[in-house]
Amino acid sequence: MSVAGAVGHKFVTEGEYVDMTAITKEQSGSYECISSNDISAPDVKTVKVTVNYAPFISKAGSTGTPVGQKGVLQCEASAVPGADFEWYKEDRRLLNGLNGVKIENQGKQSMLMFLNVSEEDYGNYTCVAMNTMGITNASIILYGKTAYCYC
């Protein structure tokens, strides 16, 4: 039996199983399984291989926002299965809709939105991304920025 993947990975075996050891997320995708013998024409089937992996945060940037303006902190995490997000300020978990913050999760991105930034909002925030494979976090700072341009 021969199994060939779309990204150039190929596995050949004499048995009915293919053992993909030390598989990486880059090896996810569709594979074509070809079984053959001396009696009949080869049989070809396509199988999809999904490699689960713990989240890793691919984007997390600090933001400067003036008092009184709308502020947004963004956190992006790649993971399979997809990550769930939580936001913290110091050791306190932030909840959607409380204390003037809104949390919006869209696919692999989470946004912490401040409707009207105050001095008390400035500081260090932690974005936590988790799934059944693991957990990770990133520190993001909301800092003050003057509303005036001295250009």
Question: Per residue in 69-106, pLDDT tens?
Answer: 999 999 999 999 999 999 999 889 999 998 889 999 99
DSSP 3-state percent helix, strand, coil across the chain (nearest 5): 5, 55, 40
d(CA 77, CA 80): 10
d(CA 130, CA 54): 7
d(CA 141, CA 126): 9
pLDDT, one tens digit for every residue, the chain (151 residues): 455 554 556 777 777 777 778 888 898 888 888 888 888 888 888 889 999 999 999 999 899 999 999 999 999 999 999 999 999 998 899 999 988 899 999 999 999 999 999 999 999 999 999 999 999 999 999 999 765 545 4
Give me the domains of the chain, ranges plus CATH numbers. 2-51 (no CATH), 54-143 (2.60.40.10)
Cβ pair 112, 103 in contact under 8 A: yes
d(CA 125, CA 87): 7
Written as one letter, the residue type at 107 is G
Report the Cα–Cα distance between both ends of the chain, in Å, rounded: 68
Q: Record the pTM.
A: 0.79
